[in-house]
């Protein structure tokens, strides 16, 4: 018997194209993690269509939540709180999860905790790493975000670097489209890169002059497109695998470089990655090697906790719950929510 | 029998509780604040005012579309969440029927309309036959000119209502050749009292769905789907 009561939280996530629900015990133990992905549907359009995503969310959400409860072998009466992503993300998509979560917590008289999507991604690292506690640095890389974050404490974040233009995952998607791989680009480029030569083409690594931790990927994306155009004009055959590998290396080199610079500057002994792109195998390998070289312990979630999921929202909601964060029935979706805002 | 009614399909947000022949409470706001911020606090207010135990509800009636896509989903997700948590059935009220029901008992035709943008309205033509609300034209997106034409064809007097009225009033006034009137303020917009009241009748005759089954009826594809279908049609 534990002397402290377990805290069970239902997490709900619908900020983009995944409808997800999860039951998490004490912020770290995932009892269920149900994800209904819409990727196949959005592939038809080459990217996420917000209205279609919102429509699918409302069709699937009850089933996803009920399945999460069933797999966790709990009922709503066993829960201590409901956590839900309320931003950032697609407003129409967020509103489905937020409205549903509010209604459930209202009907069951449960505390409602709005969670920042990025805080969720960062917290995904707590799930499989019982020893990980703040402070640490975390690189969040996904289709919508590229943030270098200092995690001072649970719920206390400082963004020290961010992208000035495209998110890393966005650059993957755009380059994948240009070399005919389709959507989503990240996993496809990751796979194809293994067959290519990363040194074949030299693509520029953009640095932002006055902000050493910031990123810029639009120049790199343009360089790839220019290269492809150049080949076409000269009638040269493009070796897609080489383009993919060389592009991916250029992205990863910058991500690793900035991350290690931050770790050294702030004197962290722990470094984590999070977000959909964190499941990229080459990025993981490069980060792992760099961390080892710098005597820093490297943390990363399993791929299932990297892409959008609700277990990470349940994990983040737990620490917000402990900190006393409670939202009212007027909680709204905030598409451009800033990290650390309540 | 007791039912909670919700309508956030248009500019108005509205919540009501009806028990048998009594409207216990209704809260309707026609103001610019977003429904996501107002709807649940409004429900909470009427629940507290009437000391309602949500578990005693027999169902939840929701204006199920058409309407603003986002507005519909706020109402639907709220109803689905309540239905899931309370284990109660949902009653889907077609938005235009709910609007028409505000004019219960009139011998004139009832034509509710909501602004659907792109020069169209979501509309329908209804009449009361005894106690029954009957659709002469089911709810559909239609151009205002076409709607006027349909109304003229009936040759009957009609009452117009809905948030499409102020937008298209001048066009309607020019085009209509049948006698018409515009419904007054207390009955010309969505009211959850009407949704709940109609919902109770539907529930009594078994017209209910599970919270899981319910989804809004948009009556329109998304823009991306429409453009994709057009492209497919052109080649």
A333 falls within a domain:
no
Task: Establish if A3 belongs to a structural domain.
Answer: no
Q: What is d(CA A54, CA A63) in angstroms, rounded to the nearest whole number?
A: 15
Q: What is the pLDDT of residues B35-48, one digit of tens each?
A: 999 999 999 999 99
Task: Tell me the DSSP string of A18-39.
Answer: EEEEEEEETTTEEEEEEEEE-H
For residue B227, list chain A residues with Cβ-Cβ distance below 8 A: none
Chain A residue with minimum CA distance to B36? A332
Cα dihedral value A321, A324, A326, A332, nearest 10: -80
Longest dimension (CA), chain A: 73
A98: contact with B, CB 8 A cutoff? yes
Print the domain residue range for A174: 134-300
Within 8 A of B86 by CB-CB distance, chain A residues are: 107
The least confident of A39-43, A334-338, B15-19, B78-82 is: A39-43
Closest by Cβ to B212, choosing from A55, A63, A330: A63
Do B165 and B125 sit in the same domain of this protein?
yes
Gap from A138 CA to chain B (nearest CA, Å)? 33
Report yes or no: B57 at the A interface, CB cutoff 8 Å: no
Cα(A160)–Cα(A269) distance, rounded to whole angstroms?
Answer: 17
Mean pLDDT (chain B, rounded): 96
Residue of A nearest to B87 (CA): A107
| pLDDT over 80 (residue B221) | yes
Please report whether residue B229 resides in a domain. no
Q: Are B161 and B53 part of one and the same domain?
A: no
A contacts of B71 (beta carbons < 8 Å):
none
Chain A contact present for B212, CB below 8 A? yes
B68 and B108 part of one domain:
no
Strand partners, A150: A137, A158
Same domain, residue pair B103 and B91: no
Is A73 found in the same domain as A42? yes
In this structure, the answer to whether residues B35 and B105 fall within a common structural domain is: no
**Does A297 reach chain B within 8 Å, measured CB to CB?**
no
Its sign, for the CA torsion B28, B34, B35, B38, is: negative
Q: Which residue of B has its CA nearest to A60?
A: B212
For residue B226, list chain A residues with Cβ-Cβ distance below 8 A. none
pLDDT at A342: 66
Do the domain assignments include residue B24?
Answer: yes
Q: Is residue B112 located within the same domain as residue B133? A: yes
pLDDT below 70 — which residues of chain A?
1-4, 342
**Contact between A103 and B212 using a beta-carbon 8 Å cutoff:** no
Would A84 be classed as within a structural domain?
yes
Cβ separation A102–B81 shorter than 8 A: yes
Looking up residue B82, the CATH number of its domain turns out to be: 3.30.420.40
Residue B228 covered by a domain: no
Structural domains of chain B, count: 2
Interface confidence (ipTM) of the complex: 0.96
CA of A61 vs chain B CAs: smallest distance (Å): 8
The beta strand positions in chain A, using DSSP E, are 8-13, 18-25, 29-37, 81-87, 112-116, 136-141, 146-153, 156-162, 270-274, 297-299
d(CA A197, CA A239): 10
Q: Which of residues 65-124 of B touch A (CB under 8 A)?
A: 69-70, 73-74, 76-86
Q: In what order do the strands lie in the sheet with B59-63?
A: B22-29, B13-19, B2-7, B59-63, B90-93
Q: Give residue-wise pLDDT tens across range B88-134.
A: 999 999 999 999 999 999 999 999 999 998 889 999 999 999 889 99
Domains contained in chain A, number:
2
Chain B interface test: which of A14, A48, A102, A327 (most B C-beta within 10 Å): A102
Question: How many inter-chain contacts (A to B, CB under 8 Å) are there?
Answer: 109
Identify the domain containing residue B114 by its residue range: 96-187
Are residues B132 and B173 located together in one domain of the fold?
A: yes
Cβ distance of A54 and B70 shorter than 8 Å? yes
A49 contacts chain B (CB < 8 A)? yes
* Domain identity same for B153 and B73: no
Encode pLDDT of B121-180 as tens digits. Answer: 999 999 999 889 999 999 999 999 999 999 999 999 999 999 999 999 999 999 999 999
With an 8 Å Cβ cutoff, are B70 and A61 in contact?
no
Sign of the Cα pseudo-torsion (A216, A219, A221, A224, in order): negative
Q: What is the pLDDT of residue B235?
A: 53
> Closest to A103 (Cβ–Cβ): which among B85, B223, B228?
B85
Q: How far apart are CA B38 and CA B24, in angstroms?
A: 20
* A215 secondary structure, DSSP code: B
- What percent of chain B shows pLDDT beyond 90? 93
Asked if residue B79 and residue B13 are part of one domain, the reply reads yes
| Strand order, beta sheet including B180-182 | B132-143, B120-129, B109-115, B158-161, B180-182
Neighbours of B155 (CB within 10 A): 9
Tell me how far apart the terminal alpha carbons of chain A are, to the nearest angstrom.
35
Report DSSP state, residue B214.
-
| From A55, A95, A108, residue closest to B36, measured CB to CB | A95
The reported pLDDT for the residue numbered B234 is: 62
């Amino acid at each position: 018997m534990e002397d402290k009561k377990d805290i069970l939280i239902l997490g709900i996530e619908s900020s983009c194209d995944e409808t997800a629900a999860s039951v998490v015990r004490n912020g770290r133990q995932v009892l269920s993690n149900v994800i209904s992905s819409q990727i196949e549907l959005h592939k038809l359009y080459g990217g996420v269509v917000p209205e279609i995503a919102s429509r699918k969310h409302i069709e699937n959400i009850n089933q996803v939540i009920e399945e999460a409860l069933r797999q966790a072998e709990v009922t709503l009466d066993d829960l201590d709180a409901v956590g839900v992503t309320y931003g950032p993300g697609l407003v129409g998509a967020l509103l489905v999860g937020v409205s549903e979560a509010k209604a459930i917590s209202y009907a069951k008289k449960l505390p409602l905790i709005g969670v920042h999507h990025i805080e969720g991604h960062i917290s995904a690292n707590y799930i499989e790493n019982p020893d990980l506690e703040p402070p640490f640095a975390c690189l969040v890389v996904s289709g919508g975000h590229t943030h270098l974050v200092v995690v001072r404490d649970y719920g206390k974040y400082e963004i020290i670097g961010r992208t000035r233009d495209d998110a890393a995952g966005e650059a993957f998607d755009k380059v994948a489209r240009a070399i005919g791989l389709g959507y989503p680009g990240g996993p496809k480029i990751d796979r194809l890169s293994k067959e290519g030569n990363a040194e074949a083409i030299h693509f520029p690594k953009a640095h932002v002059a006055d902000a050493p931790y910031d990123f810029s990927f639009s120049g790199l994306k343009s360089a790839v497109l220019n290269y492809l155009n150049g080949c076409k004009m000269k009638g040269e055959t493009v070796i897609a695998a080489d383009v993919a590998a060389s592009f991916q290396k250029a992205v990863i080199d910058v991500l690793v470089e900035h991350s290690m610079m931050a770790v050294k500057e702030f004197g962290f002994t722990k470094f984590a990655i999070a977000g959909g792109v964190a499941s990229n195998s080459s990025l993981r390998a490069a980060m792992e090697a760099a961390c080892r070289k710098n005597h820093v312990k490297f943390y990363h979630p399993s791929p299932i906790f990297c892409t959008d999921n609700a277990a990470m929202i349940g994990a983040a909601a737990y620490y917000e719950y402990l900190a006393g964060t409670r939202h009212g029935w007027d909680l709204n979706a905030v598409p451009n929510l800033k990290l650390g805002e309540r | 029998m007791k039912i909670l009614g919700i309508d956030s399909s248009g500019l108005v947000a509205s919540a009501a509780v009806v028990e048998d022949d009594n409207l216990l409470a209704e809260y309707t706001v026609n103001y610019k604040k977003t429904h996501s911020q107002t709807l649940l606090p409004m429900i909470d207010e009427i629940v507290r005012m009437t000391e309602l135990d949500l578990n005693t509800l027999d169902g939840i009636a929701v204006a199920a579309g058409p309407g603003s896509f986002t507005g519909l989903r706020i109402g639907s997700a709220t109803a689905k969440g309540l239905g899931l948590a309370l284990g109660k059935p949902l009653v889907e009220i077609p938005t235009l029927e709910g609007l028409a029901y505000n004019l219960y008992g009139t011998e004139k035709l009832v034509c509710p309309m909501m602004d659907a943008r792109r020069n169209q309205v979501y509309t329908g033509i209804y009449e009361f036959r005894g106690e029954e609300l009957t659709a002469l034209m089911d709810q559909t997106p239609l151009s205002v000119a076409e709607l006027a034409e349909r109304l003229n064809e009936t040759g009957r007097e009609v009452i117009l209502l809905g948030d499409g009225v102020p937008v298209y009033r001048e066009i309607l006034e020019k085009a209509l050749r049948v006698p018409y009137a515009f419904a007054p303020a207390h009955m010309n917009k969505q009211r959850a009292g009407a949704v709940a009241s109609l919902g109770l009748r539907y529930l009594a005759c078994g017209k209910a769905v599970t919270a899981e089954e319910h989804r809004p009826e948009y009556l329109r594809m998304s823009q991306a789907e429409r453009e994709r279908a057009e492209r497919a049609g052109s080649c």
